[in-house]
């Protein structure tokens, strides 16, 4: 198979009620920058925490996690303030984005970490996530929504499984942050360039199976050396229970009041709950989409990760 090539300039623009990829236009990269690139609810904050632990090499930080690692393309904050915050940082920068690879600028001397998760698990996690957003912030987000983003059959008329089937079979939108179908083209936008030496993949399930091993993989990808005696401390700090316990400082933008309950941002951290929720018909529809839209290798990785 012929390898895809990338130029520095983005090939696409992605906009919705939450994000705008054109906010990257005035971003000035530095050698060593790390971009944490994920679909929503696939382990974004977990990956950011791992980067923070490796970069600062200590289990606790002076400021909230999102203060170190802003979500650049989110519309909630003026872009000039976000860029000024990044410009003022003196540590190795690690930046959150939900923009697909073809919507991002490409820099050879930086690192792109693409994080994936089974779309069925991401969908269920998104349900809890949406219910936890405060009404005030939800109004701010929806003020930017297009008519088609506001339309649709009310959630109360559909079961969870019916809503999943409706969304997963909808036309794929790679820039979507609230549709499970968006996980597929999002990860594929990076997968097609997996030969690039500065592009690395992480999977939610792999972090669940072997957190320490995956943290060591990320450290190697970032070229960071960690003293052996420090690893147990850093791994414990990245465990789900610790992150939930410290949600007031680790949940994204918790200090702004965006969440009804910051602790609920880290809900259960479980996989496979869909097995008891989705019907055989709904799962058959999902599997058909996976076969039609992804090659078998990518479909297997999205569902199972590297260690599955």
Residue 13 lies in a domain: no
Q: What is the DSSP letter of 92?
A: P
What distance in Å separates the CA atoms of residue 56 and residue 304, rounded to the nearest whole number? 30
pLDDT reported for residue 151: 47
What distance in Å separates the CA atoms of residue 209 and residue 87, rounded to the nearest whole number? 36
Residue 112 lies in a domain: yes
Domain count, the chain: 1
If you average pLDDT over every residue of the chain, what do you get?
85
- Classify residue 105 as exposed, middle or buried by CB count within 10 Å of its CB (0-12, 13-18, 19+): middle
In degrees and rounded to multiples of 5, residue 202 shows phi and psi of -130, 150
**CATH code of the domain in which 109 resides:** 3.40.50.300
Measured from the Cβ of residue 192, the count of other Cβ atoms closer than 10 Å reads 16
- Provide the residue range defining the domain that includes 110: 21-304
Tens-place pLDDT, residues 50-63: 999 999 999 999 99
pLDDT reported for residue 268: 61
Residue 16 lies in a domain: no
Residue 123 lies in a domain: yes
Identify the three-state secondary structure at position 56.
helix
- Ranges of residues in the chain with a pLDDT under 70 are 1-4, 126-156, 172-181, 253-269
Residue 291 lies in a domain: yes
Residue 1 lies in a domain: no
Q: Which among 124, 117, 116, 118 has a CA at the least distance from the CA of 276?
A: 124
pLDDT reported for residue 294: 94
pLDDT reported for residue 132: 53
Any residues with CB less than 8 A from the CB of 17 and at least 6 apart, and which?
75, 141, 142, 143, 144, 145, 146, 149
What distance in Å separates the CA atoms of residue 308 and residue 301, rounded to the nearest whole number? 8
Residue 167 lies in a domain: yes
Any residues with CB less than 8 A from the CB of 204 and at least 6 apart, and which?
42, 43, 46, 115, 116, 117, 118, 121, 271, 305
Beta-bridged to residue 74, according to DSSP, are: 19
Q: How many CA atoms lie within 13 A of 181 on its CB side?
A: 17
> Per residue, what are the HEC states of 233-251?
HHHHHHCHHHHHHCHHHHC
What distance in Å separates the CA atoms of residue 201 and residue 187, rounded to the nearest whole number? 9
pLDDT reported for residue 12: 92
Q: Which residue has the tokens 């989705």?
A: 278
Find out whether 37 and 99 touch, Cβ atoms under 8 Å.
yes
Any residues with CB less than 8 A from the CB of 158 and at least 6 apart, and which?
166
What distance in Å separates the CA atoms of residue 148 and residue 82, rounded to the nearest whole number? 29
What distance in Å separates the CA atoms of residue 23 and residue 143, rounded to the nearest whole number? 18
Q: Which residue has the tokens 């999977």?
A: 203
pTM of the full structure: 0.87
Residue 2 lies in a domain: no
Beta-bridged to residue 20, according to DSSP, are: 15
Residue 295, token pair as written in the block: 């090659």
């Amino acid at each position: 198979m012929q390898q895809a090539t990338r130029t520095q300039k983005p090939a696409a623009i992605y906009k919705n009620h939450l994000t705008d990829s054109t906010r990257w236009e005035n971003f000035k990269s530095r050698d060593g920058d790390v971009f944490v690139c994920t679909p929503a609810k696939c382990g974004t904050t977990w990956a950011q925490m791992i980067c923070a632990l490796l970069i600062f090499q200590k289990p606790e930080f002076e400021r909230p996690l999102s203060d170190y690692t802003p979500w650049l393309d989110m519309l909630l904050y003026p872009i000039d303030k976000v860029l000024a915050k990044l410009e003022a940082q003196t540590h190795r920068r690690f930046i959150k984005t939900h923009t697909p690879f073809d919507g991002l600028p490409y820099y050879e001397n930086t690192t792109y970490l693409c994080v994936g998760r089974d779309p069925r698990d991401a969908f269920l996690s998104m349900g809890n996530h949406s219910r936890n957003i405060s009404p005030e912030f939800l109004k701010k987000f929806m003020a930017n929504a297009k008519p088609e983003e506001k339309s649709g059959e009310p959630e109360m008329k559909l079961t969870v499984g019916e809503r999943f089937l409706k969304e997963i079979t909808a036309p794929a939108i790679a820039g979507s942050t609230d549709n499970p179908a968006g996980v597929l083209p999002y990860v594929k936008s990076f997968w097609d360039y997996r030969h690039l030496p500065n592009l690395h993949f992480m999977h939610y399930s792999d972090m669940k199976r072997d957190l320490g091993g995956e943290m060591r993989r990320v450290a190697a990808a970032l070229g960071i050396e960690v003293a052996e005696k420090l690893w147990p401390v850093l791994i414990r700090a990245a465990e789900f229970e610790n992150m939930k316990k410290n949600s007031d400082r680790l949940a994204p933008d918790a200090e702004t009041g965006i969440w009804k309950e910051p602790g609920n941002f880290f809900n259960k951290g479980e996989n496979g709950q869909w097995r008891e929720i989705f019907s055989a018909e709904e799962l058959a529809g999902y599997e058909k989409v996976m076969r039609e839209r992804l090659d078998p290798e990518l479909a297997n990785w999205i569902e199972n990760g590297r260690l599955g």
